[in-house]
Chain A
């Protein structure tokens, strides 16, 4: 038996049925050719989707393949549409929804460099917290540290929040890189 459809999303009615919007991590394998990133980013802005995080780098030099990891939020319908639209781009090889298809079986990590300035007591405190978060000191001066921290985005958020009162100067983050657990390819 085929269930009758849910009321569709409607741009033409405020009574539109609204499903909850959630973040999804998409892995996109693309030809590493000029303009490919502009195509992907342009698709998001052109169609009104938002990008929460985006990372891109070449992953197979011989085959000229790059991998783009995009964190975007939307309802399930919107995410499905985003994936189809990505797949439609000519240089895109493969689009995988790591959040949906491999629920809980993915590793997602981000790297952050965090600069903190201060002397005396606060400096000690920052160092202790960094230790607790397993952040490494990659640069130090008499009145500053640069910490390197890798982890889930939420862990980095927590650490940055803790550093704020202790003399946070600036943060540089890579955005999320994600991969599935186990022996298989995406």
Chain B
């Protein structure tokens, strides 16, 4: 433990250094001026000046997700804090570790409706894993380090530290505990051995098993992905993953079924529906995954590994719940499988794979390509093909393009796919790409975007310009809020209420206005050249890729339906409105 006398603002910078933080994203204002002063003239921490605090939060998320470290943002009181709320909520729902430092009016003014005062801890109580209002300088060092501990231990999440300006100016003793142990918060890492034994009993006798994995595997670190691959190889079981878990098992792997859920593959969803043993590792039975709950995988016995005890039995009852970190539990599973010399039921598994091949034969991701108009699926596939072999990171916005990216860009590594899953935040992808590029300066970082979403945080192109970040924005421009239009076709007899993207800017000129390179492509024959030009351009690029305006995203489990009631592209010509019943219409 080291002690030194300094101001609160200096303590903040010192604590960031001690936590090995290299990059922070932020925006200054009156209530954080002392902290900005402490940042001035030092070189250990690089501050990225965003153009909107929401951008800072998403950039910190992209940084955290792609690097496995805690993302840090620094914003001022009042509007600075409220602008960051969407990003904090996004991080809460996707379990991303963030530390957000907010300035606050001086302690003696709190509660007086002072200029740029807001009740930051009150407002963020519901969208953070934990938050602190620092009332005295004595508490500051402990809280700073505790915040990093809480953000990254257990189920990761965002933590807010609200620091009044007088506390930033006050002098006190800075202590760095080095080893933080929280009084109450001690998440459990090792799974219960007896439960793991029961899980393996189920797995060894399973006739129709399936692994269903999620973002928890990614959050647990790269080791978890390695172990997952080993366990899949050892058992020979098929594996599917949620949107959040893509990349933990390679899409090129033999046992890969594709993503599951609302826009998942036919084989993945049918395997989930018909399996007899489901092994959920680090996923949470989200409603985008389960579809209609009372028809969800009715004949299976379920194993659920999760670090958050509240996730187990929350919506779906399981037979074996294992509370623990994926890395630890997967390792224990592999060790036991080997030491007990367990074997999968090979003949049964062979039949199961035969059935899966039949489902695969349905080719649910198939689409009719065209020579006259660029199909979005084709564009994503070409993006994947032309970037293969490079260290490529993909972020997305939210909508149809996001689902096409998830379906058609085959991810082989964890931490290379950044998307807003739980909250579904349009405007996530561009700032997230900035965060990813900061963490991986030499990588190719592409935001697969929609023309609607990209405008939500377009101002961050200016940030990219300032720091010469060569991010690539690939807009699948259908001139529609496409996912909204698709649901209007499904639910509201194609009355396209406010879902047309009117008065779009000229994205090529917009790119140029931001000092970036703009490319427009609308002829399928020019697509590869446009993508290659994007890749070869050393600075930031916006590609305005004009795609088929009315393409819809399939396959799809309509709301209120079960996994085996999917609709596919080739039966999508049937009356879509007839597919969803009254109850399904109520759902989102």
Interface residues of A (CB under 8 A from B): 2-17, 31, 34-35, 38-39, 42, 46, 77, 80-81, 84-85, 87-93
Please provide the chain B residues from 86 to 133 with a CB less than 8 Å away from any CB of chain A in the complex. Answer: 121-122, 125-126, 129-130, 133
A80 to chain B, nearest CB (A): 7
Task: Apart from A31-B183, A42-B125, A81-B314, list 15 A-B contacts with CB within 8 A.
Answer: A2-B301, A4-B301, A5-B301, A5-B319, A7-B294, A8-B296, A8-B315, A8-B316, A8-B317, A10-B294, A14-B583, A42-B126, A84-B312, A88-B309, A90-B130
CB distance A5 to B318 under 8 Å? yes
For the complex, give the distance between the alpha carbons of A38 and B125 in Å: 9
For the complex, give the distance between the alpha carbons of A17 and B299 in Å: 17
CB distance B133 to A34 under 8 Å? yes
CB distance A84 to B309 under 8 Å? yes
Contact A12 B301, CB 8 Å, known A31-B184, A42-B125: no
CB distance B316 to A84 under 8 Å? no
B151 to chain A, nearest CB (A): 11
Please encode chain B, from 319 to 332, with 1 for each CB lying within 8 Å of some chain A CB and 0 for all others. 11000000000000
Contact A81 B292, CB 8 Å, known A2-B202, A31-B184, A38-B125: no
CB distance B313 to A12 under 8 Å? no
CB distance A6 to B293 under 8 Å? no
Please provide the chain B residues from 184 to 214 with a CB less than 8 Å away from any CB of chain A in the complex. Answer: 184-185, 198, 202
CB distance B292 to A12 under 8 Å? yes
- The residues of A that contact B583 with a CB separation of less than 8 Å are 12-14
Please encode chain B, from 120 to 153, with 1 for each CB lying within 8 Å of some chain A CB and 0 for all others. 0110011001100101000000000000001000
Closest to A63 in B: B183
CB distance A15 to B121 under 8 Å? no
For the complex, give the distance between the alpha carbons of A84 and B41 in Å: 47
B24 to chain A, nearest CB (A): 23
Is B560 in contact with chain A by the CB < 8 A criterion? yes
CB distance B293 to A12 under 8 Å? yes
Contact A87 B292, CB 8 Å, known A2-B301, A5-B302, A13-B583: no
Pull 9 A–B residue pairs with CB atoms less than 8 Å apart, ordered by A: A9-B293, A10-B292, A14-B583, A17-B294, A38-B125, A42-B125, A77-B313, A88-B309, A88-B310
For the complex, give the distance between the alpha carbons of A169 and B42 in Å: 69
B357 to chain A, nearest CB (A): 27
Is B587 in contact with chain A by the CB < 8 A criterion? yes
Closest to A82 in B: B310
- The residues of A that contact B319 with a CB separation of less than 8 Å are 2-3, 5
Closest to B287 in A: A12
Q: How many of chain B's residues touch chain A, expressed as a range?
A: 35 or more
Of A3, A5, A35, A46, which is in contact with the most chain B CB atoms at under 10 Å from its CB? Answer: A5
Interface residues of B (CB under 8 A from A): 121-122, 125-126, 129-130, 133, 135, 150, 182-185, 198, 202, 287, 291-294, 296, 299, 301-302, 308-310, 312-320, 559-560, 583, 587
CB distance A15 to B294 under 8 Å? yes
CB distance A12 to B125 under 8 Å? no
CB distance A90 to B313 under 8 Å? no
Closest to A88 in B: B310
Closest to A5 in B: B317
Closest to A89 in B: B130
B125 to chain A, nearest CB (A): 6
B54 to chain A, nearest CB (A): 22
CB distance A12 to B587 under 8 Å? yes
CB distance B294 to A85 under 8 Å? no
Of A6, A12, A35, A81, which is in contact with the most chain B CB atoms at under 10 Å from its CB? Answer: A12
- The residues of A that contact B314 with a CB separation of less than 8 Å are 81, 84
Of A2, A6, A38, A42, which is in contact with the most chain B CB atoms at under 10 Å from its CB? Answer: A2
For the complex, give the distance between the alpha carbons of A42 and B294 in Å: 29
For the complex, give the distance between the alpha carbons of A15 and B292 in Å: 11
- The residues of A that contact B310 with a CB separation of less than 8 Å are 81, 84-85, 87-88
CB distance A93 to B184 under 8 Å? yes
A182 to chain B, nearest CB (A): 26
B181 to chain A, nearest CB (A): 13
Closest to A34 in B: B133
CB distance B293 to A90 under 8 Å? no
A21 to chain B, nearest CB (A): 17
- The residues of B that contact A38 with a CB separation of less than 8 Å are 122, 125
- The residues of A that contact B316 with a CB separation of less than 8 Å are 5, 8
For the complex, give the distance between the alpha carbons of A92 and B184 in Å: 7
For the complex, give the distance between the alpha carbons of A42 and B130 in Å: 13
Closest to A38 in B: B125
Which single member of A12, A34, A80, A90 contacts B560 (CB below 8 Å)?
A12
- The residues of B that contact A39 with a CB separation of less than 8 Å are 125
B286 to chain A, nearest CB (A): 12
CB distance B293 to A11 under 8 Å? yes
Closest to A92 in B: B184
Which single member of A13, A90, A92 contacts B294 (CB below 8 Å)?
A13
- The residues of A that contact B182 with a CB separation of less than 8 Å are 90
- The residues of B that contact A90 with a CB separation of less than 8 Å are 129-130, 150, 182, 184-185
- The residues of A that contact B121 with a CB separation of less than 8 Å are 35
For the complex, give the distance between the alpha carbons of A147 and B130 in Å: 43
Which single member of B133, B309, B560 contacts A87 (CB below 8 Å)?
B309
- The residues of A that contact B185 with a CB separation of less than 8 Å are 90
For the complex, give the distance between the alpha carbons of A91 and B309 in Å: 16
Closest to B319 in A: A2
- The residues of A that contact B560 with a CB separation of less than 8 Å are 12-13
- The residues of B that contact A31 with a CB separation of less than 8 Å are 183-184
B284 to chain A, nearest CB (A): 13
Closest to B302 in A: A5
For the complex, give the distance between the alpha carbons of A13 and B287 in Å: 12
For the complex, give the distance between the alpha carbons of A35 and B162 in Å: 13
For the complex, give the distance between the alpha carbons of A38 and B122 in Å: 8
CB distance B308 to A88 under 8 Å? yes
- The residues of A that contact B130 with a CB separation of less than 8 Å are 89-90
